[in-house]
Amino acid sequence: MTDANPYSPDAPIPARLRPTMEALGRVARDLARRIARGPLEGGLDAHVGGNADGDAQKALDVIADRAFAEALRGTGVRWYASEEQDDVTELDPQGTLALAIDPLDGSSNIATNVSIGTIFSLREAEEGPEATFLAPGRAQIAAGYVIYGPQCMMLVSFGAGVQSYVLDPETARFTLLDTTRRIPAESSEFAINASNYRHWSKPVRAYIDDCLAGAEGPRDKNFNMRWIASLVAETHRILMRGGIFLYPQDDRPGYAQGRLRMVYECAPIAMLVEQAGGRATDGNTAILDLQAGSLHARTPFVFGSAVKVDHVAAYHDLPEHEVSALFGHRGLFRV
């Protein structure tokens, strides 16, 4: 039988949060096994409907959501907010914690064997769900993700640095690797979906143009572009190697406020990134200082090595006439 404690004995988890974290770890451990079995588990990537925002749901999205909600009962969690559900569920009226979760991030990649993950955050439970989850991200008391990849890993912060764990397949435990994960300050990588170039604002296009200009351009450096289309995988690469991730707002219908969810995705990732010495903004303002307008509100998202994120903000701070001149002079993809 698998040990009920999914962590190595040296895991420095606050005692008050341990029941919740152990429940999250047990479900993540089971999901890692199912994902590793792939087609042997049946149609995990089968389309089964849509979530609260109309995004396609895969069978594994629903399986993961139900598993986490059930496992968290009796662990001190009062409010359970899931990207896969329209409304918040009250698990324990006497609970003092609230958990927001994206049960399975990147589920469109299930069939392609690309890394997917789980994103979660914990807050103090207020009297109502909106008062709890719509407070700025700095109200989070813990945040983390699990990445289901060649290794299953968990990175989590309780507000004092970032802890990293790897799931040992021999012991079925998340084994502590370190408690001081830091984002490298320098990197030659950036991540953005360049197919949307024509829809971006001029500051974003000018920033990317300068990266693409390489050693001959104003940055005096050659860059490599990455795009996995899995937020957890993008985050994990940046925490390991540095760089920057951009998912800006653009002029397509439904993208005016960006596409990633503040409560379930951006705020938890932003806490991890800041705790690892990086920055996370909407292009200008720190994500953790922003307040979501609704449970499923979206936001532009830029995060990574601090100096790179600050550089993007500098482009947004330029007056419009300067940005237009900059873009007109350097735009590489103009048509």
| Token code pair at residue 212 | 């693409």
49 has binding-site annotation: no
84 has binding-site annotation: no
String of b and e for 11-27 (b: at least 16 CB within 10 Å)?
bebeeebbbbbbbbbbb
113 has binding-site annotation: no
Do 224 and 281 meet the contact criterion of CB atoms below 8 Å apart? no
83 has binding-site annotation: yes
String of b and e for 297-335 (b: at least 16 CB within 10 Å)?
bbbbbbbbbbebbeebbebbeeeeeebeebbeebeeeee
CB atoms within 10 A of CB 217: 16
| Token code pair at residue 187 | 């990197």
Domains, the chain, in order of start with CATH, read 15-178 (3.30.540.10), 189-330 (3.40.190.80)
193 has binding-site annotation: yes
The proportion of the chain whose per-residue pLDDT surpasses 70, expressed as a percent, equals: 92
5 has binding-site annotation: no
Segment 162-221, tens digit of pLDDT:
999 999 999 999 999 999 999 999 999 999 999 999 999 999 999 999 999 999 998 899
So what's the pLDDT on residue 1? 41
Segment 289-323, tens digit of pLDDT:
999 999 999 999 999 999 999 999 999 887 776 66
105 has binding-site annotation: yes
Residue 329 has pLDDT above 60, yes or no: no
284 has binding-site annotation: no
The mean of the pLDDT values for the chain is 92
10 has binding-site annotation: no
The pLDDT-based confidence of 58 (bands split at 50, 70, 90) is confident
